[in-house]
Each structure stands twice: as structure tokens, then as C-alpha cells.
Amino acid sequence: MRASSSWWLMGLAVVAVGILCFRVLLPRIEKPTEREAIPDLSVTSPLNQPGGGEISAEAYDVYSALYQQPQQEPLAFAEDSQTDIPQVNGSCLKPSTPLEQEMANAFAAANQQSHRWEIKFAIPAGYLLLSRSAIAKTQDCLASGGKSGADCGVYQSLRHVRYLGVPGFDRTHTRALVSVVKMCGNQCGSGGIFEVEKSGNTWRRAESTDFTRECSWMY
């Protein structure tokens, strides 16, 4: 009987020690932190705000080089620069090197404000540079197939209006990020951010990498 009591007391002591250790150690165990919410880029880093200044000649050189080849349709560019950085886990841009990070930062900084493009592109086939009012008329003509009642005139042959972002260059100014958004109506279009590289005295589109692979979209 005494032996049974001894074993019972020993078991009770083990349980008590276990409870004491659990209570002592529990505060030291780090609780898993809740996943931080991804900040809304449109709030923390808004783009295309009014007040942008003059655009560098180098930016015109980049886009002029990209449109040297004849297009299947007349070219029409929006007068005001505009871009977007889609939010994919924070940003669609995934820089993996210091130079890529430079380009990403420069691109965001260059497009915080909307800038005014001028007729300075050197494109052999020519192009239109459209004001906001002209773009509104163009979009109505595109959406209605020319039956909107507006005087579509010169806009009748257009299929897209292209919105260009201001390039973001690396420190060597031999690589840059650019963006083109092609709108074919109020709720129709596509766009993307991609990298370009300088080859000799001209610019060309670089091979796609993980840096910009997620930065293409459709409307």
C-alpha cells in the first residue's frame, strides 16, 4: 500500500514539474508572426501625378529605336506619359542584381509624375501625338467601330493609342526599363514593362528575364 502511495506521489511530482517547466518556457517560445500585409503601391508610391517636367533626349532615342520597323497600323502616342507597375507580391518587378535594382528605382522615380511628350521622336513611318481630348474621341471611335457619331476622320484608321512610360536607366545608361500600354478602347488593351539595352549607338529590346517576366498584362 505504501509502495503504491509512493509511486502515486512520484507521478504527481513529475506532472507538477512538467506543468512548471511548460509555464516557464512558454513565454520564451516565439509565436509565429502574422504575415505582413503588402502595402498598396497606389497609396505608398503613386505614379503619373501631375507636374512632370521636360523629358530627356535619351528617352526619345529609346522609343524611336523601338519603332524603326514599319508597323501593321498607324502609330498614335498619348501626349502625357503614363505607366503602371502591377502589384504581384508587392511589385511585378523582381530585381536580382544591383543594376536591376537601380533600373527599378529609376523607373519608379521617373514616373512618379506624368510628363509631356513632344514631337521629337525620329520614326520613319511617322506618328500622331494625341492630347487627352483627342484620345477620348479616338477611344469612342474605336469602341463603336467608327459609329459613335463623332467625326472620327483621321482616327478611323487607328487601332491603338500607345501610352509610354519615361525610361528608367541604370548608372551606365546602357540599359533601361520602359513601358508601353496599348489601349484599343475604354476597356480594351494590353501593356508591359520590359528591359532595353544599348547596342552600338542604338537601343533594342533585351532578352526577357525574371526581372520583368511578370510585368505584362491584358485589359
Q: Tell me the whole-structure pTM to 2 decimals.
A: 0.78
Q: Check residues 143 and 106 and name the one with the higher pLDDT.
A: 106
Q: What is the mean pLDDT of residues 147-153?
A: 68
What value does the mean pLDDT take over residues 41-54? 86
- Segment 20-35 shows an average pLDDT of 44
Higher per-residue confidence, 55 vs 18: 55
Instruction: Give the pLDDT confidence score for residue 147 in this predicted structure.
Output: 63
3-state secondary structure the chain: CHHHHHHHHHHHHHHHHHHHHHHHHHHHCCCCCCCCCCCCHHHHCCCCECCCCCCCHHHHHHHHHHCCCCCCCCCEEECECCCCCCCCCCCCCCCCCHHHHHHHHHHHHHCCECCECCCCCCCCCCCEEECHHHHHHHHHHHHHCCCCCCCCHHHHHCCCEEEECCCEECCCCCEEEEEEEEEEECCEEEEEEEEEEEECCEEEECCCCCCCCCCEEEC
**pLDDT value, residue 130:** 96
pLDDT of residue 152: 82
pLDDT for 149: 59
- Predicted confidence (pLDDT) at residue 53 exceeds the cutoff of 80: yes
- Chain segment 152-207, per-residue pLDDT in tens: 877 888 889 999 999 999 999 999 999 999 998 777 889 999 999 999 999 999 99
Express each pLDDT in 71-112 by its tens digit.
888 999 999 999 999 888 889 999 999 999 999 999 999 999
Say yes or no to pLDDT of 24 above 50: no
Task: Say yes or no to pLDDT of 16 above 60.
Answer: no
Q: What is the pLDDT of residue 22?
A: 42
User: For the segment 200-214, what is each residue's pLDDT rounded down to a tens digit?
Assistant: 999 999 999 999 999
